[in-house]
Amino acid sequence: MTFMERLLAWRNERGAFGFYAVLLATAVLVPLLNLAVPEGSPLHMSTYTVTLVGKYMSYAILAVAVDLIWGYCGILSLGHSAFFALGGYAMGMYLMRQIGTRGVYGNAELPDFMVFLNWSELPWYWQGFDMFWFAAIMVLLAPGLLAYVFGWLAFRSRVTGVYLSIITQALTYALLLAFFRNEMGFGGNNGLTDFKEILGFDLKAPGTRMALFLATALALGVAFAAGRMITGSRLGRVVQAVRDAESRTRFIGYRVESYKLWLFVFSAMLAGVAGALYVPQVGIINPGEFSPINSIEVVIWVAVGGRGTLYGAVLGAVVVNYAKTWFTTVLPDIWLYALGTLFVVVTLFLPQGLVGLISKLKLRRGAA
Amino acid sequence: MKGPDVETNMQLRRNQQRRYRGRFALLCRPLLLFMLWLGGAVAWAQAPAGNEFDTAVASLPTASYMDKEALAGQIARSGHPQAQALLQGWLDGKLYADASGHIWLEGEGGYVDPASGSAGKVEADDLEKIGTNNRLRKGLKGMLAQFALASPTASARIRAVREMRRELDESAVAALQARLQQETDAAVTNEIELALALAELQAGEPSQRLAAIASLDGDRSAEVYNSLSQMASGDEADADAQVRAAALAAVRSIESWRSFYQGVETLLFGLSLGSVLVLAAIGLAITFGVMGVINMAHGELIMLGAYTAYVMQLLLPNHIGLALLLSIPVAFIVSGLAGVAIERGIVRHLYGRPLETLLATFGLSLVLQQLVRSVFSPLNRSVQTPGFLSGSLQFNDLLSVTWIRLYIVLFMLIVFAALWLTLNKTSLGLKVRAVSQNRRMATAMGIATSRVDAMTFGLGSGIAGIAGVALSQLTNVGPNLGQAYIIDSFMVVVFGGVGNLWGTLIGGMALGVTNKLLEPWVGAVMAKILVLVFIILFIQRRKQGLFPQKGRAAEGH
Amino acid sequence: MNVPHAFSRLIPARLRPSPRSGDVFERHNPPGLDLSHNTVLYLEDITVSFDGFRALNKLTLYVEAGELRCIIGPNGAGKTTMMDVITGKTRPDSGTAWFGQTIDLLGMSEPQIAQAGIGRKFQKPTVFEQHTVFQNLELAMAGDKSVWKMLFAKLSPAQLLRIDEVLETIGLKEHRGALAGVLSHGQKQWLEIGMLLMQEPQLLLVDEPVAGMTPQETERTAELLLSLAGKHSVVVVEHDMDFVRSIARQVTVLHEGSVLAEGSIDEVQNDPRVVEVYLGEPRC
Ligand SMILES: Nc1ncnc2c1ncn2[C@@H]1O[C@H](COP(=O)(O)OP(=O)(O)OP(=O)(O)O)[C@@H](O)[C@H]1O
Ligand SMILES: [Mg+2]
């Protein structure tokens, strides 16, 4: 093995190992600090912080989804916020139905906003969402199906590169406009909110919050492992071959369209799961989640962390979102400057992101 | 974002309408009382004329809105030489009362006594405006129209007749009949006859009404339509069956014309929306189409242009029109220089990596937005419309179009032509095309490609700035202005065919018209969604857009 | 061939008697290659035009099973375009293209054609630069290439052996772990040939294989191609006349999109028309 290759392999293994270690530590420490350490103690972690970390982790799942399709397959999807939001809405619809008679209007069947709009019965597409298992399936199915139909059309007609980026952006923009409409039956402008409980547990209870946090951590672990399984397999190598030389891959006998399609669908479902975990933690889902800017932001998380490495994507999601939280509380006016500059700096100077920077620094120190 | 705002606005408006409808019933009762009272007031006004004008003027400060209308009538009929000036001043909001209840009219040089026209010394602080409401304004306009009926110019008389027929009461009919006797101008005569026919619709004899309907044939104004449709059916339908049938036929004919003109109007709206899209997209057609560079900050370059128009107005507050005209070249320079800076600073390092360019320029767009928020304000700014752009062109009773819509089409065509000539008839254009077709060959032939790149990018960006000036006349200028147009612009360019100016023109127009045609059917937001979905599907069928670029390079191998 | 050359041109390939002519309609799931008439490729009356410019003009060409055919012609003669047509990259405006007796190439996509047994080396070497040499070969390896299979694919010992064998053949054994992107131009050429070998195609289309190679490497390439002929059919496009001379038995000259001459290298070189369009310039 050449030096370069060994370095690559080492980087990947070390990165993945590091990821699992950090995830495990988080999953053990956070509950300890939150539940076991008494409230007055300086070591105590507030439920607010737990939720924040949980939110970051659901973003990390989204970043893994985007990295799979962009970092590994070269498809710059600017529509992943749509899949994220669809997963979120599926979960939101379940949570909405769980409210039951506790809504402002006390209607057992209809969510408040439908009563407000004078609707007399539940639309057909809301049927079944009172059951968790059904909602869980829809969390995967809704984004998956949209990705399948869209991808089937786009990849079959070989729409690639910026064209694909632009039409994915148009897709999420169209959905944004659609979900703003009250007539769509998803709560219009306000979206879905005021959730009360999930699977019978009070959403405000610290225990439930902790369970959601742990579920997100688990999902992130599974998503990461699944991503690694795919990228480490020959399938992953084909996908990367598609990224680097699409038509060449075709000429050695790979049906590029199906590779792209299935990866896209998988990635969309992962984004849906991320959305579904995000919604009960933040307590709201509204059409703003569809906005094209969100999609591009996810891309920048991945770029900052280092695309083409899954742990890089996770790292980027956490770092950028932490920065966002910090800026928006301390220096809200500076945040967009920082984010914008980040885009420029990363694309110009850090094509491999933080991960690339770290290994470059190590390499230099090793040489010195 | 723009779309949702539009919808919430519409919703608000709908809610308001619902509320108004409720209020209407409440309003009706006092209105009836008012009518009864008016009868009394008129009788009172016919009492010894003497100082009718002065008494009416004197009671103005304390009068309620209901009284005011009667007083206005009194003033109008008084025959006082200052009556018209007073009523006009009242309508324009220039009539005041001081603390002692004396009435003052605000004139050019100060406040004057309305009866004598002599100036008086009053403090503006002490004055209270004699208010008007909608109903009163309508009444005042009618009265002023009667004065205008005696105006020396025919067009003013025609306007006066039109104004009067909105409210054809007895005095108006009498005034019109009197005027008809002396009128010499054929057009005015015709107009008066139509107005009288409209009044005749209420005549006692069915034959008279039939004749009136017949003579109103061809008049498609709202008043005629309303009167006729009232006669044709409903609670107040005409008693005579023949008259009803004639009225119905006339109503039908007006309706079919109405829908025709509505179609024409939709088309015009579509063309003007299309022009906006083309203007917004055409700069992109250069940077994306000719150079293959994805500039996500294009929308912000448009925004810069719009802010330039805003700043120019701040600098020249007394010459709004001039400021706007000057902003066109200034915005071109501002956005163009910004474009050159973007190209030199960022895009240049990313040629051949379109996805990275997309991300970097997107970051830049965030910075520019925030910059504008910091420098100006996060709030929208409104840029004033100069006189020559406001108002509307009245084609006929059923069709009028605001000038701005027509100007925007014209403006777009001029910009398009200028750009086309630049690209096809100048040496810069030749170089641009050479570089876009074969960069290496162009270099070999001694073209300074990097300079051409910068110039091309600057050109596209400058055009975006010009588009911004145009947009400043149509929407509010704010930090999100660019975002609202960037997706649309990309859609237009991709739909029309990358690298093809004509494609952008036709694509933009087609999308604009389609959007407006759909709107009456499905609503504004849904129309937009449908157009987006259509483009998404269209790109699958024809990757290269309406007008594909030719050659091996176009395939990207 | 059983049918005399001149005669065979008059009858479209798929109308010629064939024991399995009924399979013609199974386009998308190509059955095994039928070489019962000893002809592996039939191109007939192929016309390709780009905006009115005819890159191929009623091109008719047959390649026999096991043959090594050289195709020469001036720049822009349409050689690469012909390969594009065979491999499904470009759809011709008219004409027919058959692979063996039963496989209609014009109804198939690029991967289907590749899976049916046509391999191609591009004029501009394109390897997967972010993959190692070994992975490049692994990717090219013949076999079921469906998504699901790839997720769980493991190399069998036989397959490993095969990759090693090819690595040996193309002389990149020491570089098996190197990223393909760091290889030299010549090494990339070899790697592409290696990938072609891994595909185990029936028909190899090789576009300018020795451009950028040293004389020794060129010689090795010639040996390799010669050794392949017989088992496989090989079509080589090359401008290097010495190389062509060293391998060619049958040479076809393309000019302005159609066949100008066909025959042994000597026959072709002495054909006055060929001399005029192609070899007329002083030979080097
Ligand atoms: N996609 C395309 N669009 C337009 N013209 C094309 C396209 N592909 C090929 N051509 C033209 O068709 C002609 C034949 O090209 P081709 O690449 O087949 O030539 P060639 O024989 O391979 O030449 P060389 O020896 O230089 O490789 C050329 O004139 C080329 O410009
Ligand atoms: Mg060639």
Contact assignment for B4 to A287 by CB distance below 8 Å: yes
Distance in Å, alpha carbon of A199 to nearest chain C alpha carbon: 35
The residue to mutate among C75, C84, C121, C240, having the most atoms of ligand 1 within 8 angstroms of its beta carbon, is: C75
pLDDT score for A5: 60
Q: Tokens at residue B224, please?
A: 């005629």
How high is the ipTM of this complex?
0.88
Contact assignment for B526 to A171 by CB distance below 8 Å: no
The predicted model scores a pTM of 0.81
CA distance A146 to B131: 60
Which residue is closest to C51 within chain B, CA to CA?
B550
pLDDT over 70 at C88, yes or no: yes
Question: Are residues B280 and B482 in contact, defined by beta-carbon separation less than 8 angstroms?
Answer: no
Question: pLDDT by residue (tens digit) across C67-78?
Answer: 899 999 888 889
User: Which positions of chain B have pLDDT values less than 50?
Assistant: 1-10, 12-50, 551-557
Q: What are phi and psi of C49, to 5 degrees?
A: -130, 145
Reduced to 3 states, what is the DSSP secondary structure of residue C156? coil
Q: What are phi and psi of C208, to 5 degrees?
A: 45, 70
Strand partners, C41: C63, C99
| B109 DSSP assignment | S
pLDDT over 70 at A53, yes or no: yes
Query: Where do the domains of chain C lie?
Result: 28-278
Q: Which residues of B touch C50 (CB under 8 A)?
A: 550-552
Residue C51 CA, closest ligand 1 atom number: 4
Chains in contact with A, where contact means 3 or more Cβ–Cβ distances below 8 Å, are B, C
H/E run at residue C72: strand C68-72
Cα-to-centroid distance, C76 and ligand 2 (Å): 7
Question: Are residues B142 and B172 in contact, defined by beta-carbon separation less than 8 angstroms?
Answer: yes
H/E run at residue B401: strand B400-402
Confidence of residue A81 (pLDDT cuts 50, 70, 90): very high
Strand partners, B129: B96
* Domains of chain B in sequence order: 40-148 (no CATH), 160-239 (no CATH), 260-391+399-556 (1.10.3470)
Measured between alpha carbons, how far is residue C13 from residues A274, B530, C83 in Å?
57, 49, 19
Q: Counting beta carbons within 10 angstroms of the beta carbon of residue B465, is it exposed (0 to 12), middle (13 to 18) or buried (19 or more)?
A: buried
Nearest-10 crossing angle of helices B320-345, B449-472: 150
Q: Is residue A4 part of a domain?
A: no
Give the number of B-C residue pairs with CB atoms closer than 8 Å.
Answer: 5
Which one of A177, A246, A250, A334 makes the best mutation probe of the B interface by having the most chain B beta carbons within 10 Å? A177
pLDDT score for A11: 64
Question: Are residues A353 and A305 in contact, defined by beta-carbon separation less than 8 angstroms?
Answer: yes
Supply the Cα-derived Rg of chain A in whole angstroms: 21
Q: Which residues of A touch B362 (CB under 8 A)?
A: 296, 343
CA distance A320 to A302: 9
Question: pLDDT by residue (tens digit) across C40-70?
Answer: 999 999 999 988 888 999 999 999 988 899 9
pLDDT over 80 at C11, yes or no: no
Q: Is residue A3 part of a domain?
A: no
Is the alpha carbon torsion for C180, C181, C182, C187 positive or negative?
positive
CA distance B461 to B467: 10
Q: Is residue A175 part of a domain?
A: yes
| β pairing state of C233-237 and C250-255 | unpaired
pLDDT score for B29: 46
H/E run at residue C162: helix C157-170
CA distance A273 to A223: 9
Question: pLDDT by residue (tens digit) across B79-114?
Answer: 777 787 888 888 888 888 887 778 888 877 778 887
pLDDT score for C114: 93
CA distance B397 to B258: 10
| C278 DSSP assignment | I
Supply the Cα-derived Rg of chain C in whole angstroms: 19
DSSP A42-89: TT---HHHHHHHHHHHHHHHHHHHHIIIIIIT----S-HHHHHHHHHH
Supply the Cα-derived Rg of chain B in whole angstroms: 31
pLDDT score for B254: 85
Q: What are phi and psi of A358, to 5 degrees?
A: -60, -45
Residues contacting B511, CB < 8 A, separation 6+: B274, B277, B488, B491, B492, B495, B531, B535
Q: Is residue A2 part of a domain?
A: no
The Cβ of residue C114 has, within 10 Å, a number of other Cβ atoms equal to 26
The Cβ of residue B417 has, within 10 Å, a number of other Cβ atoms equal to 10
User: What residues have their beta carbon closer than 5 A to ion ligand 2?
Assistant: C 80, 123
CA distance B413 to B556: 32
Q: Is residue A9 part of a domain?
A: no
Q: Is residue A289 part of a domain?
A: yes
Q: What angle do CA A177, A180, A183 make, to 5 degrees?
A: 110
Question: Are residues B374 and B301 in contact, defined by beta-carbon separation less than 8 angstroms?
Answer: no
Q: Tokens at residue C200, please?
A: 């185990």
Contact assignment for B552 to C51 by CB distance below 8 Å: no
CA distance B404 to B81: 40
For C28-278, CATH gives 3.40.50.300
The average pLDDT across C115-132 equals 90
Q: Is residue A341 part of a domain?
A: yes
pLDDT score for C270: 82
Around ligand 1, the residues with Cβ closer than 6 Å are B 551-552, 555; C 50, 55, 73, 75-81, 123
Of B355, B363, B529, the CB nearest to A177: B529
The average pLDDT across A2-11 equals 62
Q: Is residue A321 part of a domain?
A: yes
CA distance B302 to B469: 8
pLDDT score for B144: 79
Q: Tokens at residue A321, please?
A: 């979102």
pLDDT over 60 at A215, yes or no: yes
The average pLDDT across C12-33 equals 41
Q: What angle do CA B207, B209, B215 make, to 5 degrees?
A: 105
| Shortest-distance Cα residue to atom 3 of ligand 1 | B552
What does pLDDT average to over chain A?
91
Residue A353's nearest CA partner among A300, A299, A298, A306 is: A306
Which one of C147, C148, C207 makes the best mutation probe of the A interface by having the most chain A beta carbons within 10 Å? C147
pLDDT score for A51: 93
Contact assignment for C139 to A238 by CB distance below 8 Å: yes
DSSP A250-309: HHTT--HHHHHHHHHHHHHHHHHHHHHHHHHHHTEE-GGGG-HHHHHHHHHHHHHH-TT-
CA atoms within 13 A on the CB side of C73: 25
Give residues 36 to 55 of C whose Cβ lies within 8 Å of B.
50-51
Q: Which residues of A touch C130 (CB under 8 A)?
A: 240, 243-244
Express the helix, strand and coil content of chain C in percent, nearest 5 each: 40, 25, 35
> Which ligand lies nearest the alpha carbon of C82?
1
Distance in Å, alpha carbon of C47 to nearest chain A alpha carbon: 22
CA distance A256 to A238: 9
Question: pLDDT by residue (tens digit) across C146-186?
Answer: 898 889 988 999 999 999 999 998 889 999 899 999 998 88
Q: How many domains does chain A have?
A: 1
Q: Tokens at residue A9, please?
A: 């392999």
The Cβ of residue B549 has, within 10 Å, a number of other Cβ atoms equal to 18
CATH number at residue A237: 1.10.3470
pLDDT score for A4: 60
Q: What are phi and psi of A74, to 5 degrees?
A: 75, 10
Q: Which residues of B touch A341 (CB under 8 A)?
A: 363, 367
| Shortest-distance Cα residue to atom 31 of ligand 1 | C76
